Amino acid sequence: MAAVKTMDDLFLYMLKDVYYAEKLILRSMPKMIKQTQTPELKQAFEKHREETEGQVERLEKVFEECEAPARAVRCEAMDGIIAEAKEMMEEVEDGHVRDAAILAAAQSVEHYEISRYGTLIAWAQQLGMKNAVKLLQQTLEEEKKTDKLLSELALRSVNQSAAE
């Protein structure tokens, strides 16, 4: 971890962490989409991939507001979540069960992001960064909406198909 002495430093460090996470998610999503056999789940992942591209762009605008280059710092938590998802995709043979596993991993990603964006918003408010709050809030709402959709898909069809 770089030297963090001020709240501004801490905000920037967390911003770099979530930037890394979003870019890693973008790189990982095509494989998740390819491995998914449930059409609704595949569609949800494709839509969220597009949203994630916009989220990365918003993060870059926040970096600009901080007058800092858009650089990532390794996010060990997201590395672990993605590694676990890859392992499940490789190990689970049944397509329906694999979809349930991929969906669970995707929700772990969403929950991590919801936590991080909530923290960044609170810090941005404290630091008087009104535009950053607005940009981060937009992303937080997308993450919550995606999490809700994934929960509905799990309960409505994916988990049921996996259990049959």
Question: What is the pLDDT confidence band of residue 28, given thresholds at 50, 70 and 90?
Answer: very high
Q: Which residues contact 112 (CB under 8 A, 6 or more apart)?
A: 21, 77, 78, 81
Tell me what pLDDT residue 1 has: 61
Tell me what pLDDT residue 27 has: 94
Tell me what pLDDT residue 29 has: 93
Tell me what pLDDT residue 3 has: 81
CB 14 within 8 A of CB 120: yes
Separation CA 26–CA 12 (nearest Å): 21
- The span from the first CA to the last CA of the chain, in angstroms, equals 47
Tell me what pLDDT residue 2 has: 63
Instruction: Provide the CB-side half-sphere exposure for 98 (13 A, CA).
Output: 19
Question: Which one has a higher pLDDT value, 136 or 4?
Answer: 136
pTM: 0.92
pLDDT tens digits, one per residue of 109-161: 999 999 999 999 999 999 999 999 999 999 999 999 999 999 999 999 998 88
**What CATH architecture is 7-163?**
Up-down Bundle (1.20)
Separation CA 163–CA 141 (nearest Å): 31
pLDDT tens digits, one per residue of 50-102: 999 999 999 999 999 999 999 999 999 999 999 999 998 899 999 999 999 99
Question: What is the pLDDT confidence band of residue 4, given thresholds at 50, 70 and 90?
Answer: confident
